[in-house]
Chains A and B, each alone.
Chain A
Amino acid sequence: MSVSTADLKRLGEMKAPAGLAERVLAGAGLADEYARFDTVIGAVFVAWNRNGVSAAARSRSAHEFEEYVRADVGRRPLRPGTPSAEMSQRITDELSGKRTLRFDLRGLTEFEQAVLRKAREIPYGQVRPYSWVAREIGHPSAVRAVGTALANNPIPYFIPCHRVVRADGVIGNYGGGGPEAKKAILTLEGVRVQQLAELARAGVRYQGVKTTGVYCYPTCHHARRAHERNVVWLHDVNEAKSAGFRPCKVCRPAAA
Chain B
Amino acid sequence: MDGVEHVFERMVHDHQDRLYALGYALTGNRHDAEEVAQDTLLRAYRALVRYPPERVRDLKQRAWLHRIAVNVARNRYRRPGPRMVELNGSEQDAAPGPETRALQRLELDGVAAALACLPERYREAVVLRCVQDLSYAEAAEVLGQPIGTVKSNVHRGLRILRGENDERFDS
Contacts and interface: CB of A to CB of B under 8 A. Distances in A.
The secondary-structure label for the interface of chain A is loop
A110 interface: no
B2 interface: yes
A62 interface: no
The secondary-structure label for the interface of chain B is helix
A16 B95 contact: no
Contacts, number: 104
Interface stretch (B9-17, B50-58, B72-80, B142-150): B9-17
Given A14-B17, A17-B92, A25-B9, A5 B108 contact: no
A220 to B, nearest CB: 37
A16 to B, nearest CB: 4
Q: Which of the four size classes fits the interface of chain A?
A: 20 to 34
Given A4-B162, A10-B108, A12-B18, 11 more contacts: A7-B111, A8-B111, A8-B126, A14-B94, A15-B20, A16-B19, A16-B37, A17-B34, A18-B94, A28-B41, A28-B45
Interface of A: 1-5, 7-18, 20-21, 23-25, 27-28, 30, 50-51
Q: Sort A-B residue pairs by CB-CB distance and give the 10 closest, nearest first.
A: A16-B20, A3-B161, A8-B130, A17-B94, A12-B131, A16-B16, A14-B21, A2-B163, A28-B45, A24-B41
23 contacts: A2-B163, A3-B110, A3-B115, A5-B158, A8-B127, A9-B131, A11-B24, A11-B111, A14-B17, A16-B16, A16-B17, A16-B19, A17-B20, A17-B34, A17-B92, A18-B95, A20-B37, A23-B38, A24-B38, A24-B42, A27-B38, A28-B8, A30-B5
